[in-house]
Each structure stands twice: as structure tokens, then as C-alpha cells.
Amino acid sequence: MSDFMLPDIGEGIVECEIVEWRVSEGDVIEEDQPVVEVMTDKALVEITAPEAGRVTRLYVPKGEIAKVHSPLFAYESDAEEGGDSGQASAAPVERATAEPAPAPTATPPGSPSASAPVAATDFILPDIGEGIVECEVVEWRVAEGDTIEEDQPLVDVMTDKALVEITAPEAGRVAKLYVPKGEIAKVHAPLFAYEPAVVESPQPARSAPPAPEQPAKPASDAPQGLGVATTGRGPYGRIPASPAVRRLLREHDLALEAVPGSGKEGRVLKEDVLRHLEQGGESTPAATGRTAGTPERTPAPAPTGEGEITVEPIRGVRAVMARRMVESASTIPHFQYGEEIDVTDLLALRARLKPQAEAQGTRMTLMPFFMKAMALAVKEYPILNARLNADVSEIHYLPSCNVGMAVDSKAGLLVPNVKHVERRTLLDVAREVERLTAAAREGRVDQADLKGGTISISNIGALGGTYAAPIINAPELAIVAIGKTQWLPRFDDSGEVVRRAIMTITWAGDHRVIDGGTIARFCNAWKGYLENPETMLLHLG
């Protein structure tokens, strides 16, 4: 019998109220079946069964308070044998015991140590972000039977916010992969099992055998890239390569299939890419025997046969974006406000500052100027940087201006934010913009960089758009979409036609608390700083 421990169900939440039990003691349950609804101080949460079995006890009655990390209910899984009681935990750290009998995650038959009573340990998927209860397995970097080292990257998983790399807790050997590539893994549930490496003991009767040799794999462990290149893809149908290597390939306009991999299972290493470039490698796929694959996380084109459809699941960041945009558009009355900004002088200032920034290793774009001007305008109109409470009875004015920027990443739309823009220098803001943009495009933004935004910028003009009607990134109250800058004729003070750099912008404000006059005045203040950028010097601390 196992106890299901109430998991972390939100940032700072330590208890919740039992709203309704969907099952009774003695009921048979299936994996992922809804078992109970609980109410936190933020939301109603549905908790599902971790595996199939039978409910033996409900610890907390309806209407009572349940504590996080305390037993919520007990159950007997279908895999348990009669009389075998398990340790009470929904997230057991180990299934291994000192008994000679194999654990439930015993070494798969046919492996080099199948005959030895080696204890296996379950790796439980930990909390990997605020409110995250599941994630998609993007790529396994190891296979069952592989020897692993401590901190070795084992698997990439995609949450609803970012791509996360999970590493080995200690050295050993992979016994079982519980969740296949492309499937959903649950937080606090086993992700894989491994046999920890042990030091040889002078008492062979009680010690685990030495770490077994890795099972032979067809030419995938060969030290030279030629043998690997002809094996095609890794064990899960994809050429293995780390995100850093994929980024290097994109920077040099190289296809992953074009570079022979010398790593395990044909993994393309950084040195493989550099060697390929030194040899004058082209960006088209090389004749290595690999079959050109589909783009990363994108389905292959549908066959040309009539009526055939390609289906791609909406998961991870895209799924969350879909839910949040629907919620924001349907619950927040948006007020749109458009304007033109003459950025001729701003472009000239940026051109003068750009060499100095590059000398310090920073790329100076217009985004830091947009952010600094926004932080200054917020001081005059703080309601644009505020929050509403849940029942829209209070406005909470925030002490810092954390400006978010929408980034079109490979994982979907991410909005990391630069913290405390009002305190930072222009150069410091530029460094943060550069860091966050690079991280977002790789899908590896830290959770802290995604939380706490107070107002957002969407630079649609970087892709060529002129106008857009942005949707507010709730719980923020305002967002601006920046269109492309165009050189257009305008009349100067003397009535002469002159060539000016004109940028179009469109604001969206929460019309529950921001009226047209407020957003217009705020926009005029922001516009003033951008059209006369030297005036910002008067307000810099």
C-alpha cells in the first residue's frame, strides 16, 4: 500500500481545502483519473491518480484542510503483490532495499547484469517551476543500459514556459525509461530508474557488482565520426545534439544532418561543427547516409495524397499561450490606441553610442531606449504599471518597472522581463536585453526571468509589421506593439518636406481602469522621451 502525498500545487501554497472527493474507499482507480478537487487561496485544483489501483483510505474528509507534503489518500497499485506494503510517499526517492530480491525497477532482461540482484532507484521528476505539474519529454539523451556520470545531461523536457535539461543525480547505469519521447511526464512521478554505481567491496556476498560494461550498440560508440554518420539517427529517431550545438548550427546556417556526429548514438558535438566549418562544409546536408529529417519540434509535411492531414499536438509553451490569450482577450476589455513616433534623433543617438557599447561587448539596439523611456513615463503615470486584485476592487501600484519583451522562440512565444529598469543604466539594460533574447530563442529562460513583469513590449516591427493589435499579458494592464520604422516625407517647422524616420506604435490598455485620456497622456510622455532622447538625461539617477 502506498500513501499519495499532496504535492506542491503553487508558489507559496502550504495547504488547501478538500472541496470534493471523486472516489470512495475501496474504489478502483485508473492512472490519471480525477480523484479529488482541492481549493487553494488562488484556484481550484484537480488531483489525479498517479497510477492504476484501488483506494484504501481517504485521510482528509471533505471540507477539511490538507497540508502540502502530507498524506492525502492511500492506495494499492495494480503492480503491488499481496502483503507487500510500500513506503508512504507519492514521490518515493528510492524503491531499492537491501534484500536480494529485485526491485520493481529491476534491470531489464538481457542486460549485462540481469542475473545480479542490483538495487534500482527511481528518479522522481522534481518541481521545475511555479505551478508546473507536467512536462513533455522532448529528447532522451541516454538509452536503457547506458552508463551515466553524475550531472550528465539525461533528458530535455518542455514545460509550459521553457526547455529544461535534467541531469543525472549520481553515477550509475540507466535501468528503465518510464516516459517515452513525446509523452507527458508528471511532477513527483518516476521519470527513469537507474542503478547507482558502487565501489567494489571485499564482501562480494553483500555488495553490488562493479558497474557493468555498457551494452554493445551498432557502431554508435565508435570514436570516429564516419562510422557514426552512416548509422542515421539516434535510438529515438532524432539526431542527438545539445541546444548549444543547435544554436551554433543556426548561426552558421548549417543543417544538423550535414555534420557527421562523432558522439554517442551519432550525437553531433561542438567540435564536430567546428571541424566541419574548418573543412569548408556547406550548409546543405552532407552525404553521410543520414536521411534529412523534419525541423525541430515541427511535423513533417503531409504526403501529397489527397485528403491526408498532418496533426501536431499543441503542447508546452504554445498550449499555455493559447489558454492565456483566450483568457486575456475574453476577460479584459482592451482599449487600443495608435500613434506615430519620429525616431530620427533616436537613431542618430544610437549610432553614436553603438561603437562604445560594442567595445564593452554589448549590442545596442533600440529596445533599451524604449524600456528606459517607458520607465520614466511610468513615474508620471504609475497606473500603467499597476495590478488589479482578483475581484477588481483594488489597484496595486508596483514599486519597480519590470519591462517584458515578447520573443518569438523555437518553443513558442516567451515574454522574459528586465527587472528594475528604472534603476539600471542604458548599457546595463542593453546587456539584459541581449541575455534574455538569446536565452528565450533557445527556450531556456530561467523561471525568475519570466515572472514579475509589469508592462510589456512586442516588437512586431522586427519582422516587418507596421500595425498590430496586441493582447495584454495578464495580470499586466498595458502592452505596446512597435511597428517597423520607415523613412517617410514630413513637413518641418518651415513647411518644407523633409525625410524622417517614422515608427508606428499601438497600445492596448485594460479599459477597466485605464481610459483613453490616461493612455494618450502616458503615450505622449513616452513619445517625448523617444523623440528627444537627450531629455532622458535630466531624469537619470
List the chain domain ranges.
Answer: 1-90, 225-278, 332-539
What local confidence, expressed as pLDDT, does residue 395 receive? 97
Amino acid at residue number 80: E
Tell me what pLDDT residue 14 has: 78
Strand partners, 264: none
Under CATH, what is the fold of the domain 225-278? Dihydrolipoamide Transferase (4.10.320)
pLDDT for res 238? 55
- In angstroms and rounded to an integer, the radius of gyration of the C-alpha atoms of the chain is 28
The pLDDT of residue 285: 39
Architecture of domain 332-539: 2-Layer Sandwich (3.30)
- Residue 193 in 3-state DSSP? strand
DSSP classification of residue 287: S
User: Grid coordinates 509553451 are at which residue?
Assistant: 317
Strands 455-458 and 478-491: parallel
pLDDT at 141 over 50: yes
- Alpha helices, DSSP H only, in 361-441? 367-380, 426-441
* β-pair type (28-29, 44-48): unpaired
pLDDT average, residue stretch 440-458: 89
pTM for this model (two decimals): 0.53
Q: Mean of the pLDDT values across residues 521-541?
A: 91
- Span 277-291, average pLDDT: 52
Distances (CA, A) of 20 to 23, 29, 511: 9, 16, 37
- Banded pLDDT at 394 (limits 50, 70, 90): very high
pLDDT, tens digit (0-9, with 9 covering 90-100), for 95-138? 333 333 333 444 444 443 444 455 788 999 887 766 678 888 98
Is the model's pLDDT at 28 over the cut of 80?
yes
Enumerate the active-site residues. Answer: 511, 515
User: Which architecture characterizes domain 1-90 according to CATH?
Assistant: Beta Barrel (2.40)
How far is 459 from 465, CA to CA, in rounded Å?
9
Q: Provide the terminal-to-terminal Cα distance of the chain, rounded to the nearest Å.
A: 63
Query: CA–CA separation, 190 vs 93, rounded Å?
Result: 9
Q: Do 332-539 and 225-278 fall under one CATH topology?
A: no
Q: Has residue 280 got a pLDDT over 50?
A: yes
